[in-house]
């Protein structure tokens, strides 16, 4: 499980489709209670989803865990998008992504949230990619700046040489806009 640095604004990828679900754990590292506010957006990061804002009150040094549909009512079945969470006071958050696969295995992975107050680390290295034997890797990119920027994804073998993936050894992705 990754360490979660306190922030006042974060974004979380949400996938409630095809056997997937997303969980969020939020903690208050402070000595006074706080209110965390959440809004859901479609995949474009701009179009609102669900029935308005959700609120989560946390006691001093308190914590809670929940699913996005418990925080934002009216999310459509199979929703894929982002959950934007913020508070005037710092909080720490983690995301868990769940999947029940074709063999009825319950799989879970933890990943950090996108901290909207800090630049993402660069470069980001994924040390291993699964593709075969019923497994595949999905790389999820969230833009933490107000404007779209180019992202280059390179696939390298164990010796550092480029791997031929599809039409070439690198892919070019252009992230969509994000809410401000």
* Count of C-beta atoms within a 10 Å radius of residue 7: 19
Domain at 7-115: CATH code: 2.60.290.11
pLDDT at 171: 43
Residue-wise pLDDT for 132-158, tens only, equals: 776 667 776 666 665 556 667 777 888
% residues pLDDT > 90 (the chain): 45
Residue 34 has pLDDT above 70, yes or no: yes
Cβ neighbours of residue 74 closer than 8 Å, sequence gap 6 or more: 50, 51
Residue 60 has pLDDT above 80, yes or no: yes
Residue-wise pLDDT for 61-102, tens only, equals: 999 999 999 999 999 999 999 999 999 999 999 999 998 888
Using alpha carbons, list the distances in angstroms from residue 79 to 12, 16, 43, 67, 176. 13, 5, 9, 12, 17
Tokens 């999820």 correspond to 140
Measure CA 61 to chain center: 23
Measure CA 15 to chain center: 9
Residue 44 has pLDDT above 90, yes or no: no
Q: Which residue has the higher pLDDT, 169 or 157?
A: 157
The candidate with the shortest Cα–Cα distance to 117, out of 151, 82, 146, 83, is 146
pLDDT at 114: 87
Residue-wise pLDDT for 14-31, tens only, equals: 999 988 999 999 999 999
Q: What is the DSSP string of 92-131?
A: EEEEEEEEE-TT--EEEEEEE-EETTSPPPSS---S---E
Q: pLDDT confidence of 167, banded at 50, 70, 90? A: very low
Distance linking the first and last C-alpha atoms of the chain? 28
pTM score, whole prediction: 0.77
Q: pLDDT confidence of 46, banded at 50, 70, 90? A: confident
């Amino acid at each position: 499980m990754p360490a979660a640095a306190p922030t006042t604004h974060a974004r979380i990828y949400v996938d409630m489709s095809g056997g997937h679900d997303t969980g969020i754990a939020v903690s208050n590292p402070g000595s006074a209670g706080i209110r965390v506010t959440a809004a859901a957006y479609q995949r474009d990061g701009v179009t609102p989803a669900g029935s308005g804002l959700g609120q989560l009150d946390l006691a001093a040094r308190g914590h809670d865990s929940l699913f996005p549909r418990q925080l934002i009512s009216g999310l459509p079945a199979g929703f894929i998008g982002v959950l934007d969470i913020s508070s005037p006071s710092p909080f720490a958050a983690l995301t868990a992504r769940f999947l029940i696969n074709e063999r009825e295995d319950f799989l879970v992975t933890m990943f950090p949230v996108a901290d909207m107050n800090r630049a993402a680390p660069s470069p980001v290295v994924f040390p291993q990619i699964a593709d075969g034997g019923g497994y595949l890797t999905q790389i999820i990119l969230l833009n933490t700046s107000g404007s779209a920027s180019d992202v280059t994804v390179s696939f390298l073998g164990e010796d550092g040489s480029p791997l031929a993936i599809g039409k070439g050894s690198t892919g070019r992705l252009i992230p969509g806009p994000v809410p401000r």
